[in-house]
Structure 1
Amino acid sequence: MKTILIKTLQILFAFGLAAFIIWWSIHELTAQDKADIQLAFTNANYIYVIPVIILLFISNCLRAGRWQQIIAPLGAKPPFKDLLFGLMLGYAANQFIPRAGELLRCTVIAKKHPVTVAQLVGTVIIERSLDLLCFAILAIIVFFIEYTQIHAYAIEIFQGVALKWQNNSSPLVILGYLCIFMLLIAAYRFLKKRYSKKQFFLFKIFRGIAEGLASIKHVPNKPLFIIQTVLLWVVYILATWLGCFAFTETAHLSIGTAMVLLVSGTLGIIIAPGGLGAYPYAIQKTLVLYSITKNIGLAFGWLLWMVQFLFTITFGIIAFIALNSKTKAHAQHKHHTAKNT
């Protein structure tokens, strides 16, 4: 009962955060702002949505192929199509219950093939560890490629914070900041005292990532595995870049800018379920760096998010139907075989 309550509160918090970010991004919009956003959607060239959808599907295929390689050392050989359907079904579930999709796709595959859910969860941890490493590498590359823009934006933020501090440096405000700082220190010391160094959750996370990455050496075809991983992120970048052509105001953006958008958008997806609210807001704030107006940035962010959301839900439904029809056909075949014998 306690576990269910905690999970429920976590889900409510996640969607509450998404709702807050949506409100925060639109609460100061004027009637003119709303009209500009509506006009941006009206004038958008939706033909570019088609190649974005194709690339998203290709990314799922690459993920399924890579997952197949990670599962291979377990001695199981689930067919590619089952892994693809399980993956797409899991992504659809993640839109409504954060991280539930990972368990769902493992459960679906475990029901159909001789491998346990626990073993498959281990393969997902390996996959996520690799994704985290790739994301970190991409973020570092983006930092150096777009250093000028990022540096200018960072200075602007720090200057804004300094100005706000100067204008609100009353004793009560200063006391409030000191209290927050002391609470953070107290929380850190409490966690460090409660858990030993080996048990401290940050160390556990890093240790899990390291173990996951180390296990990649067991995949049967390492060159193919590396190619699949690199192509996966190349496809993500291309999908983001092609999406830019949907709006006249963003059509001039370079592939380097698309990489920045991918990094910031991924952070938005991490923050809120499926990136709801957070993804468009992150894209909007990133595009401000490139002199794109906040209204166009917000409209573009929501367009990209809606394409991904509709793709995920549509193909999730297709995967659900395909998996269920195959399960029924398999059950009928077994019944027919047993009856004949």
Structure 2
Amino acid sequence: MNKRIVKILKIILPLLLGVFLVWYSLNSATPEEREELWLNILNANPWFLLLSMIFGGLSHLSRAYRWKFMLEPMGYKPRLPNSFMAVMAGYLANFGIPRSGEVLRAASLSSYEKIPFEKAFGTIISERIADVVVMLSITAFTLLLQTEYLLAYFNTHDINPLTSFGILVALLLVGILALQFIKRSQLSFLVRIKKMARGLLEGMRSIFRMKQKWAFIFHTLFIWLMYILMFYVIIFAVPGMENTEFSVIMAAFVVGSFAISATNGGIGVYPVAIGAILVVFGISKQTGEAFGWITWGTQTLLVLLLGGLSFIFLPIFNRQK
């Protein structure tokens, strides 16, 4: 298939998926359910939405500041305003073309701070690895919080936990065997996978070799704490969500984190996924989806504002260059 067509499909298909899910969710609801959804959104407390945006802004600022710890060992000291605007412009670009934001972010810093593109991009890949490790840790922690519920679910649906554990062990063994096969294989595409994996591991090791690794780790944890807080405070904005348990919110947070990467900026997928997981815990579909839409809308508005301003002010701030 023509490479140009493939690129176009990568942009259009996620958008179409998001639009379809929005249509399907609204079309499958009764007029009363749609009205309830709309009222929940309209009646949201704006002060908690503002607080959520503040937490989101702090996470983005911390991400921009954390970047310098990856660049300093190579002799580069970018100015914080440039790092922050590059981060926000990258987030905004991801709404149009998935994963293009990382390229734009590195290109922006390369243009205005004279940092080689490949080095700037390499540090972004390395810090993404750190974020993945934290996300997987949060996922494991959330599963532990939901142990009692999972056991009750297994009992209700007559599922043997030992069977599930055995399946997980079997899958783990299959994964280990697959890794051994890839490690020894000389097939061209598997060789490329091995090179990429070595690069990712090297990037992860570089985090522990940097001079200010503890500052980097602190900011990584701070970023994710702000993510959780900007998500959590929305429960006080949506009627009917105020008394939701923290463990339930964490389950929704994990689902939303994975869902947001499925389409450009999570449009359609994010609120539907949040609504679906909250229904499992006894929260009405309309309340859950309203929570998802408000959370997504609040942070999307923040990215649109800060990302748009970053596109405008990057060349102005660096006009002498």
TM-score when normalising by structure 2: 0.86
Mapping for residues 162-201 of structure 1, pairs under 5 Å: 195=187, 198-199=190-191, 201=193
1:269 is aligned to 2:260: yes
1:50 aligns with 2:50: yes
Query: What letter is aligned with 2:122?
Result: G
Give 2:210's aligned amino acid: V
Shift of 1:29: 0.8
Per-residue deviation, residues 182-228 of structure 1 (Å, max 9, x unmatched): xxxxxx9xxx8994684274x56644432221111232211211111
How many angstroms apart in 2 are the aligned matches of 1:61 and 1:150?
Answer: 37
From 237, 242, 262, the equivalent of 1:246 is 237
**What code does the residue aligned with 2:127 have?**
E
Matches within 5 A, 1:123-134: 123-134=123-134
With over 3 angstroms needed to count, the CA separation of the structure-2 counterparts of 1:197 and 1:105, relative to structure 1, is closer
CA contact (8 A) 1:280 1:301 kept: yes
Native 8 Å contact 1:94 1:273 kept in 2:
yes
Give secondary structure in 2 for the equivalent of 1:76.
Answer: coil
Partner SS, residue 271 of structure 1 = coil
Structure-2 separation of matches of 1:156 and 1:16: 37
Structure 2 CA distance, aligned partners of 1:154 and 1:11?
Answer: 39
2:110: which partner in 1? 110
Contact 2:238 2:290 in 1 (8 A): no
Q: CA RMSD in A?
A: 2.5
Residue number among 294, 307, 321 corresponding to 1:316 in the alignment? 307
- Name the counterpart of 1:295: 286
Inter-CA distance 279–155: structure 2 relative to 1 (3 Å threshold): farther
List alignment gaps of at least 5 residues for structure 2.
Answer: 160-177
Q: Measured at CA, do residues 324 and 196 of structure 1 come closer, stay the same or move farther in structure 2, by a change above 3 Å?
A: closer
1:3 aligned onto 2:33: no
Q: CA deviation at 1:136?
A: 0.6
Aligned length: 299
Check conservation: 1:240, 1:261, Cα contact below 8 A. Answer: no
Deviation, 1:147, is 2.1
CA 1:80–1:218 in structure 2 vs 1: closer, same or farther (change >3 Å)?
A: farther
3-state SS in 2 of match to 1:29? coil
Question: Residue 42 and residue 9 in structure 1: after superposition, are their counterparts in 2 closer, same or farther (change >3 A)?
Answer: closer
Distance (Å, rounded) in 2 between the aligned partners of 1:8 and 1:151: 45
1:180 matched to which residue of 2? Answer: none
Closer/same/farther in 2, CA of residues 151 and 13 from structure 1, 3 Å limit = farther
Counterparts of 1:289 and 1:132 in 2: how far apart (Å)? 26
- Name the CA distance, whole Å, in 2 between partners of 1:135 and 1:15: 25
Q: Which residue of 2 aligns with 1:148?
A: 148
* CA–CA separation in structure 1 for the residues paired with 2:306 and 2:158: 43
Task: After TM superposition, give the deviation of residue 151 of structure 1 in Å.
Answer: 4.8
- 1:3 offset after TM fit, Å? 3.1
Q: Which amino acid aligns with 1:117?
A: F
| Distance of aligned partners of 1:322 and 1:200 in 2 relative to their CA distance in 1, 3 Å threshold | closer
Find the counterpart in structure 1 of residue 93 from structure 2: 93
Change in Cα spacing, 1:156 to 1:84, as seen in structure 2 (3 Å) is farther
The separation in 2 between residues aligned to 1:44 and 1:149, in whole angstroms, is 29
Report the residue type matching 1:33 in the other structure. E
Q: Distance in 2 between matches of 1:313 and 1:68?
A: 24
Q: How does the TM-score come out when normalised to structure 1?
A: 0.81
Whole-angstrom distance in 2 between the partners of 1:314 and 1:152: 44
| Cα distance between partner residues in 2 of 1:208 and 1:275 | 28
Separation (CA, whole Å) in 1 of partners of 2:158 and 2:223: 35
Taking every aligned residue pair, what percent have the same amino acid on both sides?
30
8 Å Cα contact 2:90-2:100 kept in structure 1? yes
Does the C-alpha gap of structure 1 residues 108 and 154 become closer, same or farther in structure 2, counting only changes over 3 Å? farther
- Which sits farther off after the overlay, 251-260 or 285-294? 251-260
Per the alignment, residue 81 of structure 1 pairs with: 81
> How far off its partner does 1:115 sit?
1.4
**Residues 153, 289 of structure 1: 8 Å contact kept:** no
Deviation at 1:140, TM superposition (A): 0.3
> 2-side partners of 1:117 and 1:4: how far apart?
24
Amino acid at match of 1:199: V
Q: Which amino acid aligns with 2:300?
A: F
**CA offsets, 1:235-275, max 9 Å, x none?**
11111111111112111123333322221111111211111
Q: Residue in 2 aligned with 1:211?
A: 202
Q: 1: CA distance between counterparts of 2:94 and 2:284?
A: 31
Q: Which runs of 4+ in 1 moved over 6 A?
A: 154-159
- The alpha-carbon distance between structure 1 residues 87 and 306, as it changes in their structure 2 partners (threshold 3 A), is same
Shift of 1:99: 0.8
Q: Which runs of 5+ in 1 are unaligned?
A: 160-187, 332-341
